[in-house]
Chains A and B, each alone.
Chain A
């Protein structure tokens, strides 16, 4: 199975900060990578798919980049609603895998 390594596991930031989360795949997944946001007690919500495509309705302060094995999620200016846990996920093969998650906390 393809392993997804996400970093950092926790991130403390302030409103207005630029935030970057990294995800590394154990082998090339082309651009078959998605990013999800999860808030406590809720199901996740997709933000980015195909590594850099913004899901409809998602604010433009979210962006994704990368291909192959290295990917990033960037929040250009952190807003109060963005404090949550973020997961990357690869969907290049028959077995799908998630990163371990990054919790974005208020500094």
Chain B
């Protein structure tokens, strides 16, 4: 069974940092682009960032709202995806989902984790 499990969420003060992790199982992690998507309380979905696979040089893309503050990385040897979040703002409060993109050349999201809640508040 394909599974994604996030961890690392919690309460952090404005201006602080937090690192989220996601472990994938049941599939060949290294074959897939991986993304982070977030959802503020009671709001819709917002794509955060992507990291491509080794074949694509592990290149990354970010939403304008987090570019320069967030970093997506991966460790294929550990089947793990990470999101380093810096200079956090109250508007970053959300459930953060780890998402697998399917293996096509223009991939859609075909598997989502259960999410981890990040709360930015003093």
Q: Report which A residues bind B (CB closer than 8 A).
A: 1, 32, 34, 36, 38, 42-46, 49-50, 55, 87, 89, 91-92, 94-101
Q: Which residues on the A side are within 8 Å of B50 (C-beta)? A: 96
Closest to A42 in B: B114
Question: Could you tell me if B47 and A96 are in contact, using CB atoms closer than 8 angstroms?
Answer: yes
Give a binary string over B75-107; 1 marks a CB under 8 Å from any A CB, 0 the rest.
Answer: 000000000000000000000010000100011
**Closest CB of chain A to B49's CB: distance in Å?**
10
Question: Which of B47, B97, B108, B114 contacts A95, CB < 8 Å?
Answer: B47
Please tell me the number of chain B residues within 8 Å of chain A, measured between CB atoms.
Answer: 20
Give the total number of A-B pairs whose CB atoms are below 8 A apart: 54
Question: Which of B47, B63, B106, B109 contacts A32, CB < 8 Å?
Answer: B106
Q: Which residues on the B side are within 8 Å of A1 (C-beta)? A: 64
Q: Report which B residues bind A (CB closer than 8 A).
A: 35, 44-47, 50, 61, 63-64, 97, 102, 106-110, 112-115
Question: Which of A45, A96, A99, A101 contacts B112, CB < 8 Å?
Answer: A45
Tell me whether A98 and B46 are in contact in the complex, defined as CB-CB below 8 angstroms, given that A44-B112, A49-B102 are known contacts. Answer: yes
